[in-house]
Amino acid sequence: MKASELREKSVEALQQDLESLFETQFKQRMKQASGQLSKTHEIGAVRRDIARVKTILREKQGK
């Protein structure tokens, strides 16, 4: 996800993206805990995506 792509989305779409990212993060943490996660770098990528979406939401809501 790029910030420029996120800025084009509506607040509702960003909130849906955020929910799906939280779900993805949860699933990855569960896989990691059970030893099934092979691509550990994806955890950090999802965390950065969550931060990006939260930042853009904050910008759109008037800081």
For the cut 70, the answer to whether the pLDDT of residue 36 exceeds it is yes
Given this model, what pLDDT does residue 53 score?
A: 96
CA pair distance 55, 26, nearest whole angstrom? 20
The pLDDT-based confidence of 62 (bands split at 50, 70, 90) is confident
The pLDDT-based confidence of 63 (bands split at 50, 70, 90) is low
For the cut 70, the answer to whether the pLDDT of residue 7 exceeds it is yes
- 43 alpha-carbon distance from chain centroid: 10
Mean pLDDT (the chain, rounded): 94
For the cut 80, the answer to whether the pLDDT of residue 6 exceeds it is yes
